[in-house]
Amino acid sequence: MVREQLMTGGPFPQRLHLAELVVAFYGEFLRLLIRWCDDSIAETQTWSDTKDIGLTPQARERYERLLAQPDP
């Protein structure tokens, strides 16, 4: 869809500026969701159990990354 819109303007070229905003949001969101799923699966596969694991090094890194970012 994105390729077509770039090449032809899509079925509604007069509204392409509006469509792009929505498509860009969903595209970035889906990429973020897939990355989160991949990371979560990779981490949980290393757990032998879900009881009393505590803060893993990967979880600590994610927390620290969040703290390092400015507030939205």
- Calculate mean pLDDT across residues 31-39: 97
What pLDDT score was predicted for residue 51? 92
- Calculate mean pLDDT across residues 23-51: 95
Concatenate the DSSP letters of all residues of 6-71 into one string. Answer: HHH--S-GGGHHHHHHHHHHHHHHHHHHHHHHHHHHHHHTT-S-SSS----HHHHHHHHHHHHSPP
Do 20 and 5 touch, CB atoms closer than 8 A? yes
Q: Taking the domains of the chain in order of start, what are their residue ranges?
A: 2-47+54-68
Contacts of 55 (CB under 8 A, 6+ apart): 63
- Average pLDDT of the chain is 94
The predicted-structure confidence for 41-72, as pLDDT tens digits, reads as follows: 999 999 999 999 999 999 999 999 999 999 98
